[in-house]
Amino acid sequence: MKQKISIPIKKSDVPEKAGGSAKYIADIEFEGMLYAKTLRSDRPRARINSIKIPELPEGYYIVDKNDIPGKNRVKMIIDDQPFFAEDVVNYIGEPILLVVGPDKEKVFEIVYKIKVYYEDIEPIFTIEEAEKEKKNPIYGDDNCFAEYEFKKGEPEKAFATLSYIVEDEYSTDYQEHIYLEPQGVVGIYENGKVTVYGAMQCPYYVKNALLQAFGWDENRIRVVQTTTGGAFGGKEEYPSLIAGHAAFAAVKTGKPVQLVFDRNEDIEVTTKRHPSSIKFKTALDENNRIIAMDVDIKIDAGANAGLSDVVLQRSMFSATGVYNIPNIRVRGKALATNKVPSGAFRGFGAPQVFFAIEMHMYHIADKVGMEPIDFKTKHILMRGDTTSTGGLLRSEVKLPEIIDTIDKMSQYREKYEKFKKKRDGLKGIGFSLFFHGCGFTGSGEKDLIKAKVKLKKKKNDKVEILVSNVDMGQGAQTALRKIVSYSLDKPIEHIIYENPDTDRVPDSGPTVASRTVMIVGGLLEKAARKLKERWNEAPELEIVERYKQPEYIRWDQKKFKGDAYPEYSWGANVVEVEIDPVTYEIKVLGIWGVYDVGVAIDEKMLRGQIEGGIIQGLGFATIEVMNIKDGKIQQDTITDYIIPTSKDFPKIEIKLIDNPYEYGPFGAKCAGELPFVGAAPALASAVQYALNVPIRKIPVTPELLLSYVNLINKPQNSKELRECLTTEHVPPLRDPEVSGTEIAELKETS
C-alpha cells in the first residue's frame, strides 16, 4: 500500500540550482577578501629540513603551523592529522603552509617560488608493505589505525570438523567522489570571533575542529553551511581541515580569506573510497549449506586515520552480507600508507565487502553446482534470525518478495537459462542481494551525537526547522520540510529551512550514514506532533526534541555484540551486460533494482537517489580507474578520471516495497547509501557469467578482462593463471555452443 507522504512534490532547491541563481561558496564575495593557496608536499614521505620563502610583497602573508593558537591536529577519532605538516610529510599533497593575498595570480606565483628542502624517508605504499614494515612505521608501532575481531557461534569448531572449504580473495580500488562543486571555504575574523562559511555535510564537526584548533570559547566560533553542490561523504571530514586553514588565515590577516580548490587539486588531495583486500574462508556441510565463514578485511587508510576506524567497522558488520551463517569470525585492519587519506564515501566501507561477499557466494554456488540465485536464497536472513554480530532482526525481512519481484521484472532466471544454452555475442546477467545498516554504527548516536532538534513557530504562523543537517543535493531540505508539514498538518510553504548556522541551530548531528531522515526526521516528526498539540498556546513557540535510543537496542561496543544498527534497509539488483568480443568493453543492456527502505518520504526524490546511487556504483565497478604510482595519483583531472553519466546506462527499472519501520518518521528507514551497495556485485556477476572467468577485482576494465582471457587462452600460462585467479574456478556452467571463439577455447584449456 502506498503511503500518502510518498506522493512526490517539487524538490525545493531545483529552481535555484537548475536556473543558475544558487550561490556556492566560490560565488560569494566578501569585502576586501584575500585568496589563499596551499603549498603542498611533493614527496610521499620525507623530513622537512628547511623552507625557503621569497620576500613577500606588501599585503601578502604566509600562514603555517605557528599561526595555530591551539592544537595542530584536526579533531577526528584519533587526532593524528596536522592542519599543517610539522617536521615530516606523509603523502604527496599534504599541506605545509598557505600563501594569502589580494591577487590570486600573485599568490600562486609566490607558492611556486617557495622552496622546501626535504630528506626522503622510505615510503610505504601498499597494504602488504604497511603490514610488514615494523622498523619505521607511519603510525604507532604497527601502521595500524584500527584493528578488530569479532565472532559468532563456534567458527573454530566448524572449521575443524567440516571438510568442504572454499577460500577466496577480493580487492577493490580507489573511488573519487567528483561532487559537482569542489571543496571550498571562506574564513572571517570580526570582533574577536571566527566565522567559517563553506560547502560541508557536518557544521558541528567543523565547529568542534575549530574549537580544538583555537582553544577558544564556544561563542567565538561560528560555522555556516553554504549551498553545497554534492558531497557523497567527501564533505564529511575534509572540510574541518580547510576550515582551519581559512580561519587561521583570517585571524592572521584580519580579512576574509577564501580557500577554494580547483578540480585538479580537489582530486589530488581530498579523501577517497578506501581500497580494500578481503579474504574469505567458508565451510559447507554435505547439504551445501554454509556452516562457517571466516572473513579477513584490510582497508588502505592512507596517511591519516580520519574516519577509517568506523569505515572498517561498517565493513566488518557487512562482511557476511544478507546471509544467515551460524559461525562467523571477522577480522579487520585499517592500515597506514604514504598516500592521500581515505575517507567517507557513500556506503562507508560496505560497498567493498558487498562486492566481495556477493561474488564469493556466486563462486561457491558454482562449485556446488547450484544457480547463484538459488544458493543465495537458501541462505538469506529472515525475521527472528540474528545478524553477524548477534543482533535480532525484529522487523519483517522482505527478501523473498524482493527476490521474486526482481526476478519477474528482469526475467533473470529466464535470461540466465537462455544465455547458458545459446547466445549471440557475450551476454551475461548478474544478481546481487544487499542491506544497509541505517544510521550510525553501534552506539554512536546515543554516546557521541546525542542529537537535538528545534522547531520554532513564528508570529506569522510559519514554522522554522532548526537542525544542523544540510542539503547537499540529496533532498534533505524537501524531505525534512515534508515530514514537518505532514506531522503539523500545515502547507509545505509554511515550513522554513535555511542552511544551518551553528549560531542558530542546535547540534542535531552530521549529515551522514543515512541518518538525516530516519533519526533527525524522526525527531522532527515528534517535535511537530507536540507543536501541533500546543499550537494555540502562544503566537510564538519553540519545541526541542532530543534523541532517545529505542528501548530494544542492545549493543556492546567492546565485544561488537548485539544490534550494530537500529534497523536495516534491503535490496536486490540485476544487471544485464554484453561484452564486446574484440575490445572487451562492457555494454550494460539492463538494470533493475528492488528496495525496501521502509517508506519513501518522496517517491520521486528517492528514485533520483536510487538512479544516482546505481550509476555511481556501476562507475566504481567499471570505468572509474584511479592508480597511485609512487604516491602520485595518475588520474588527477576529469579528463583522466572518467565517471559515468546517465547516457552511459539504459533506463533503470525500480520497484519499491513498503515495509514501515516503527521508529522511523512515517515508517522511513535509510535510503541514500543502499542503492550504491548492490550495483558493483550485480555487474561483476554479469561479466563473470558472460566471460566465464572469475571476477575478484573491480573496476573490471577491458584491460583486466583481456588479461584474464589471455592468461586462460595460453596453456603455457597455467601456473601464472592459477596465481592470478587464486582458485581453480571455471564452473560447469553451460554447454559449448558459445559463439565468440576465445571463450570457446577458454573452456577447453581450463
Residue 123 or 343 with smaller CB distance to ligand MOS: 343
The string over 215-245, giving b where at least 16 C-beta atoms fall within 10 Å of a residue's C-beta and e elsewhere, is ebeeeebbbbbbbbbbbbbbbbbbbbbbbbb
**Alpha-carbon gap, residue 228 to 385, rounded angstroms:** 41
Q: Coil, strand, or helix at residue 125?
A: coil
Stretch in the footprint of ligand MOS (CB under 6 A) among 154-162, 164-172, 341-349, 645-653? 341-349
Measured CA to CA in angstroms, residue 110 lies from 37, 103, 114, 268, 742 at distances of 9, 11, 6, 21, 57
Site for ligand MOS in 604-663 (CB under 6 A): none
Distance CA(111)–CA(52), nearest Å, equals 11
Nearest residue (beta carbon) to ligand MOS: 233
Return phi, psi of residue 666, to 5°.
Answer: 55, 25
Stretch that binds ligand MOS, among 38-46, 342-350, 456-464, 651-659 (CB under 6 A): 342-350
- The DSSP bridge pattern shows strands 652-656 and 586-596 to be parallel
Task: Report how far apart, in Å, the C-alpha atoms of 724 and of each of 71, 131, 707, 718, 733 are.
Answer: 47, 22, 10, 10, 21
Compute, in degrees rounded to 10, the torsion defined by CA atoms 201, 204, 208, 209: 10
Nearer to ligand MOS, 171 or 511 (CB): 511
Binding mask 135-174 for ligand MOS (x = CB under 6 A): ----------------------------------------
Indicate whether 344 belongs to the interface with ligand MOS (CB under 6 A).
yes
From the CB of 233, what's the least distance to ligand MOS, in Å? 3
Cell numbers representing residue 486 in the block: 505532514
Of 233, 302, 500, 675, the one binding ligand MOS (CB under 6 A) is 233
Report the length, in residues, of the chain.
Answer: 750
Smallest gap from residue 513 Cβ to ligand MOS (A): 4
> Using CB under 6 A, which of the segments 293-301, 344-352, 355-363, 730-738 binds ligand MOS?
344-352
String marking each residue 174-213 x if it binds ligand MOS according to CB under 6 A: ---------------------------x------------
270, three cell numbers: 581530498
Specify whether the CB–CB gap between 171 and 128 falls below 8 A.
no
Nearer to ligand MOS, 177 or 457 (CB): 177
Q: How far is the CB of 437 from ligand MOS (least distance, A)?
A: 11
Q: How many residues bind ligand MOS (CB under 6 A)?
A: 9
Q: How far is the CB of 125 from ligand MOS (least distance, A)?
A: 25
Binder of ligand MOS out of 348, 497, 570, 595 (CB under 6 A) = 348
Min dist CB 467 to ligand MOS, Å, is 16
Nearer to ligand MOS, 43 or 669 (CB): 669
Nearer to ligand MOS, 133 or 507 (CB): 507
Stretch near ligand MOS under the rule CB under 6 A, chosen from 238-246, 343-351, 554-562, 586-594: 343-351
Nearest CA to 508 among 430, 452, 580, 590? Answer: 452
What is the edge-to-edge ordering of all strands in the sheet holding 463-466?
495-497, 463-466, 452-457, 541-546
- C-beta closer to ligand MOS: residue 207 or 346: 346
Nearest to 481 by CA among 467, 569, 197: 467
Q: Please say which residue, 68 or 472, places its beta carbon nearer to ligand MOS.
A: 472
For ligand MOS, give the closer residue by CB, 37 or 669: 669
Backbone angles phi, psi at 142, to 5 degrees: -135, 15
201 or 208: CB nearest ligand MOS:
201
Sign of the torsion formed by the C-alpha atoms of 704, 709, 712 and 716: negative
- If one asks whether residue 362 binds ligand MOS (CB under 6 A), the answer comes out as no
The dihedral through the CA atoms of 75, 81, 86, 87 has a sign that is positive
* 553 lies in the site for ligand MOS, by CB under 6 A: no
Nearest-approach distance from CB 201 to ligand MOS, in angstroms:
6
Does 346 bind ligand MOS (CB under 6 A)? Our answer is yes
CB atoms within 10 A of CB 101: 24
Pick between residue 201 and residue 388 the one whose CB is nearest to ligand MOS.
Answer: 201
Q: Which is nearer to ligand MOS, 388 or 514 (CB)?
A: 514
Q: Which residues between 84 and 143 bind ligand MOS (CB under 6 A)?
A: none
| Phi, then psi, of 668 in degrees rounded to 5 | -75, 145
Question: Using an 8 Å Cβ cutoff, are 148 and 316 in contact?
Answer: yes
- Identify residues 20-49 at the interface with ligand MOS (CB under 6 A): none
Using the rule CB under 6 A, is 306 a contact of ligand MOS?
no
Between residues 311 and 403, which has the closer beta carbon with respect to ligand MOS? 311
* Alpha helix (H) residue ranges in 411-458: 412-421, 444
The least CB distance from residue 710 to ligand MOS, in Å, is 37
User: What does the longest C-alpha to C-alpha distance in the chain come to?
Assistant: 86
Query: Would you count residue 513 as binding ligand MOS (CB under 6 A)?
Result: yes
**236 binding ligand MOS? (CB under 6 A):** yes
Residue with Cβ nearer ligand MOS (597 or 690)? 597
* Distance of closest approach, residue 490 Cβ to ligand MOS, in angstroms: 30
Nearest-approach distance from CB 485 to ligand MOS, in angstroms: 26
Write the DSSP assignment of 561-585 as a string of letters: EE-SSS-EEEEEEEEEEEE-TTT--
Residue type, 369: G
216 touches 248 (CB < 8 A): no
Please, what is the minimum distance in Å from the beta carbon of residue 604 to ligand MOS? Answer: 22
Select 233 or 475, whichever has its Cβ closest to ligand MOS.
Answer: 233
Binding residue for ligand MOS, selected from 35, 91, 345, 676, defined by CB under 6 A = 345
709: nearest Cα among 724, 691, 696, 697: 691
Q: How many CA atoms lie within 13 A of 645 on its CB side?
A: 4
The residue ranges that bind ligand MOS (CB under 6 A) are 201, 233, 236, 344-346, 348, 512-513
